[in-house]
Amino acid sequence: MTDEFENRERVPAFNVPPATLYLVAAIIGIHLLLSVTTDATLGWVYGYFSFRPAIIAAILENPTFAGILHIPVTLCSHLFLHHDWTHMALNAGMLLAFGSLTERRFGIVRFLVLYFLAGWCGAAIEYLISPPFEDVILYGASAAVFGTMGAAMIVLLPRFGLRGILIMIGVLLGVNVVLGATPLGALFAGGEAEIAWVAHMAGFAVGMILALLYVVQGRTSGH
C-alpha cells in the first residue's frame, strides 16, 4: 500500500505537456495584459500584429525589407490575439485538451511544427479568399487549435475506429460551418466580428495531414 501511495504522489496534479502549457500561458498572459492597457495601445497592437490580407498584398506588390519581415511576424503574432475573453478562453481550453493529446503523441518539436503550420495555412487561406482592398483583420489561435483537433482525430483513430472518427469530424466541422457561415455566428463573435470558419477548416486539414505523415513516418522508421 505504501508503494502504491508513493507512485500516486509522483503523478503531477496538472499534467499538461510543456509546449501546450506555455502556449496557453502566453495566450492568457497576452490577453490579460491587453485588457488593462490603453485604447490607443490596444488599437496599435491589433492594427500592427493582426494578420491583414490587404496589408500583405500591398507589401508583396511593393516589397521592402521591413515589409517582408512584417509577414512572418504577423503570421505568428496574430495567433496570440483574441477578440474577447470568451474567444480567448474557448481557444485556450480547446488547446489544453487537443494540444496535450497531440503533443504527448508526437513530441514537442513535431507538435509545434503542426500547430504553427496549421495557423499559418489558415491565415494564407484567408489571404486568398479575402476581397481585394477590403481591410480584413484576422486574429486568434483558432486555425492552429483546429490543427491540433485534426491531429487528434488521427491519434484517436485506433481507439474509436474509422466510423467513430468520421462522426467526430462531421460534428466538429459541421458546428464550425454552422457557426461561421450563418448569422448564428454573429451571436458568438459579437459586434461586427465574424468567425473565420474557412481558416479553421484549413487548419484542421493541415493538422490531420501532418499527423498522418507523422504516423506513417514513425512506422517506416520502426521497420
Does the pLDDT of residue 152 top 70, yes or no?
yes
Residue ranges of the domains in the chain? 2-222
For 187-217, write each residue's pLDDT tens digit: 555 556 678 889 999 999 999 999 999 999 8
Mean pLDDT of the chain: 88
Banded pLDDT at 180 (limits 50, 70, 90): confident
Which fold does the domain 2-222 belong to in CATH? Rhomboid-like fold (1.20.1540)
For 34-66, write each residue's pLDDT tens digit: 999 999 999 999 999 999 999 999 999 999 999
pLDDT of residue 178: 82
Residue 204 · residue 150 · CB < 8 Å: yes
**CA-to-CA separations, 79 to 14, 119, 167, 187, in angstroms, rounded:** 24, 7, 28, 22
Task: Please tell me the distance from the alpha carbon of residue 193 to that of residue 186, in angstroms, as a whole number.
Answer: 7
185 compared with 21, residue with greater pLDDT: 21
Bridge partners of residue 138, in order along the sequence: 51
Section 141-165 average pLDDT = 96
In sequence order, the 6+-apart residues with CB closer than 8 A to the CB of 174 are none
pLDDT of residue 13: 44
Section 59-84 average pLDDT = 95
State the helix-helix crossing angle for 142-155 and 108-129, rounded to 10 degrees.
Answer: 130
pLDDT of residue 165: 94
74 compared with 8, residue with greater pLDDT: 74
